[in-house]
Amino acid sequence: MTAHDYDLIVIGSGPGGQKAAIAAAKLGKRVAIVDKHDMVGGVCVNTGTIPSKTLREAVLYLTGMSQRELYGASYRVKQDITIADLLARTQHVIGREVEVVRAQLLRNHVDVIDGIAKFVDPHTLAIEGRSRTTISGGKIVIATGTKPARPGEVDFDQARVLDSDEILQMESIPASLVVVGAGVIGIEYASMFAALGCRVTVVEQREQMLEFCDPEIVESLKFHLRDLAVTFRFGEKVVDVAVNSIGTVTTLASGKRIPAEAVMYSAGRQGMTSELDLEKAGLEADKRGRLAVGPHYVTSVNHIYAVGDVIGFPALAATSMDQGRLAAYHAFGEPTNELAALQPIGIYTIPEISYCGATEAELTTSSVPYEIGTARYRELARGQIAGDSYGMLKLLVSTTDRTLLGVHVFGTAATELVHIGQAVMGCGGTVDYLVDAVFNYPTFSEAYKVAALDATNKIRALEKFRP
C-alpha cells in the first residue's frame, strides 16, 4: 500500500472528471471522485448541456416548429405551452443521465464522495459534506467546470434578472425577453424562447455574433431568428436594468430603453475554483477562475492536472471527455495520442449550426486556394420530407490536392452530419471520395455528394484555364 488513500482523486463529476476517473480505474488504480450529491454528472448534466439541449427538443416538438413548412405557420402540437411542459422532459432526462453516470462509476469501482473538496496541501483534500473527512491522493485531477459569470453591477434576483442557469427555473414563459450577450449560450436560448412565441431582443457589445463561424451561415441564422421576431442590437452596451413588479426596462449606452418581462445575462463563464483553496496546493487561478495547464493537462504542480471548462477554450463536453481520459493516462504512464486537431463545433440554435475544419476567412488569410461546394436541403428529397427548405451544407475543397479543408452545416441534423466531413478530413480523404461514395436515399447525408459534385464541377472549370 502507498502512503495515499487513493492513486487518483478527481474533483468534479462532469464529462472530464468522469472519463478521468474511469480511465484510471480501468488501469487498476484506486480512484475517488468528489462532488456534491445533487451535482453528480456535473454542470453538463444538471444545469448546462443536457438540460438546455433537452429544452430545445421539447420546444421543437411542442411548438411543431419543424413541421410548419408542411402544415402552415400556425401548426402547434400544444396550444398553450407551459414551463411545466418543458421541464417535465428536462427533469426526466437529467434523472436518467445521473443514473447512468452513477452506474458507470459504481461498475468501475470508483468511490463517489459527497461534498465540497478543499486543498489542505498538494496531496490532501478536506471534504465538507454531511460530515467532514480528509483524503489524500498520489495524483489529482481538477474538473470542477464553470458557472455563469455574473457582473457585479447587475442585481440578479432569480425572477426578472437571471443568468443562464436560472433561466431553467423560471415559473412561466415570459412574453418578452432581453438577452444580454450574443455568444453561443445567449443565442441558443434566444432562439428557443423566440420559437415559443416570446419577443426576444439580443443586445451585444460587439458588431457581430458567432464570429468564429462561417459568415454566410451566421447570416442565415440571423434571417431565421428575425423571422421569429428576434431584434438584434449590435454595438450596444447595457448601462442599467430597472426592475419593478410588472417587468424590466433595460437602458443602453445609446439611450435606447427596452421594456421586457425578464432579462437573461449571458456574459461568459467563470471557473469554479474559488472554494478549492488552491494556494494550499501551490496553484493560482486567473481572474476568471481558470487554471493554466501545459502538455498533457499538467498544472504548475506536476502531480495535479486540470481538464474541461475550468482550463478555458474550447470548453466543450466532447473535448472535456478526451482531456480527462488523456490526463489520467499520462498520470499513470499509459501511452496516448494527442487530442485530435479536428474537433467539431456544434451550436444548438434553432436551426442548428455545426462545422469542422477551416473557415473561408482563415483560408483567405492564409492564402490557401480553395473552391466551395454547396448543397441546399430544398434540393434533397429528405429535405422536402422533413420540411426543411432552408438548410445547407458547404464544403471547402483545396484546388491543389482536392482534400477537404472544412465542412459547414446549417439546418436539421447539422451536429450529426458534420461528423462525415470530419472523418473524411481526419483520414486525409479528398472530395473524390464523396463523389464516388453511395449514400442512402433519401437522407440528409446525400448533401455531401451534391456539394462534392458542385465543388468538382467548379474545379474542372478552373482546370480548363490552366496554362
CATH 3.50.50.60 domain position(s) in the chain: 6-148+270-331, 161-267
Which DSSP state fits 41?
T
CA distances from 415 to 41, 46, 55, 109, 409 (A): 22, 22, 16, 34, 8
**Model-wide pTM > 0.85:** yes
SS (H, E, C) 295-349: HHHECCCCCEEECHHHHCCCCCHHHHHHHHHHHHHHHCCCCCCCCCCCCCEEECC
Confidence of residue 467 (pLDDT cuts 50, 70, 90): low
Distance, CA of 243 to CA of 160 (rounded, Å) = 7
Distance, CA of 122 to CA of 158 (rounded, Å) = 37
Query: What confidence score (pLDDT) does residue 1 get?
Result: 42
Query: What confidence score (pLDDT) does residue 2 get?
Result: 57
Confidence of residue 300 (pLDDT cuts 50, 70, 90): very high
Q: Which three cell numbers stand for residue 429?
A: 480523404
CATH 3.50.50.60 describes domain 161-267? yes
The three-class DSSP label of residue 362 is helix
Kindly report the CATH class assigned to 351-463.
alpha beta
Asked if pLDDT for residue 90 goes beyond 50, the answer is yes
Q: Which three cell numbers stand for residue 267?
A: 456574459
* Strand-pair partners of 265: 163, 180
Q: What is the pLDDT of residues 8-31, one digit of tens each?
A: 999 999 999 999 999 999 999 999
Q: Which CATH architecture has domain 6-148+270-331?
A: 3-Layer(bba) Sandwich (3.50)
CATH 3.30.390.30 domain position(s) in the chain: 351-463
As a whole-number percent, the residues of the chain with pLDDT over 90 amount to: 76
As a whole-number percent, the residues of the chain with pLDDT over 70 amount to: 99
Query: What confidence score (pLDDT) does residue 289 get?
Result: 95
Do strands 257-260 and 248-252 pair parallel, antiparallel, or not at all (unpaired)? Answer: antiparallel
Q: Work out whether the CA dihedral 194, 197, 202, 208 comes out positive or negative.
A: positive
Distance, CA of 135 to CA of 117 (rounded, Å) = 10
Q: Exposed/middle/buried for 400, CB within 10 Å: 0-12, 13-18, 19+?
A: exposed
Q: What is the pLDDT of residues 106-148, one digit of tens each?
A: 999 999 999 999 999 999 999 998 889 999 999 999 999 999 9
* Strand-pair partners of 140: 9, 304
